[in-house]
Amino acid sequence: MLAPFHLAIPVYNLQECRTFYRDILNCEEGRSSDHWVDFNFFGHQLVIHLDDSKHEAVSNPVDGKSVPVPHFGVVLEWQDFKDFSEHLRSKHIQFIIEPYIRFEGLVGEQATMFFKDPSGNALEFKAFKETSQIFAK
C-alpha cells in the first residue's frame, strides 16, 4: 500500500478555496480552524493555510505548453481521469492545459491536465495508460 502524503499550501481566501476543494474537487473536509482546513485529497492529506501574501507564478515549457511550477496533484486510473476531467468540465473549470495524451503509443503514455485553485495554486492530474510505467525511462 502506498503511504499517503501530507501537503500544506497557501491560499489567500480560505472560504473560496474551502468551497473549491470540497464542492468542485469533491474532497472530504476534515479538521479546520480560522486559518486552515484539512482535506482528504484522493487519499492524501492536503491542508490549505490562510496566507494573504502573493506568490510569483513561474512556468516551464513542456510539449510546447507553459507548465506552471510549482504544481501538485495525483495519478488517477485511466477511466477515473476521463470521468474526473468530464466532471471538471461540467463545473466549468478553466484549464491552464486542457486534458490531452502525452507520449501516445510510447512508454509512459499518459493523460494529463492542469488548472488552478482560486488562490492560483496549480494542480496537475494525470493517468498512465499502463500504471507499471509511471517511473519508466
d(CA 27, CA 70): 21
Mean pLDDT within 35-48? 97
Task: Give me the pLDDT at residue 20, please.
Answer: 98
Name the amino acid, one letter, at 22. Answer: R
pLDDT tens figures, 77-122: 999 999 999 999 999 999 999 999 999 999 999 999 999 999 999 9
Task: Give me the pLDDT at residue 137, please.
Answer: 77
Task: Give me the pLDDT at residue 13, please.
Answer: 94
Please tell me which residue, 1 or 121, carries the higher pLDDT value. Answer: 121
pLDDT tens figures, 66-80: 999 999 999 999 999
Question: Which overall architecture, per CATH, does domain 59-133 show?
Answer: Roll (3.10)
Q: Which residue has the cell 468551497?
A: 19
% pLDDT > 90, the chain: 81
d(CA 59, CA 79): 28
Beta bridge partners, 29, equal: 39
Residue 128 has pLDDT above 90, yes or no: yes
d(CA 80, CA 65): 24
Q: What is the rounded radius of gyration, in angstroms, for the C-alpha atoms of the chain?
A: 15
Task: Give me the pLDDT at residue 54, please.
Answer: 73
Domains of the chain by residue range = 6-50, 59-133
85: Cβ contacts below 8 Å, ≥ 6 apart: 99, 111, 113, 125
Task: Give me the pLDDT at residue 12, please.
Answer: 92
The domain defined by 6-50 folds into 2,3-Dihydroxybiphenyl 1,2-Dioxygenase; domain 1 (3.10.180)
Q: Are strands 110-116 and 71-72 parallel, antiparallel or unpaired?
A: unpaired
Task: Give me the pLDDT at residue 103, please.
Answer: 93
Residue 56 has pLDDT above 80, yes or no: no
d(CA 22, CA 15): 10
Task: Give me the pLDDT at residue 57, please.
Answer: 76
Cell readout for 56 is: 510569483
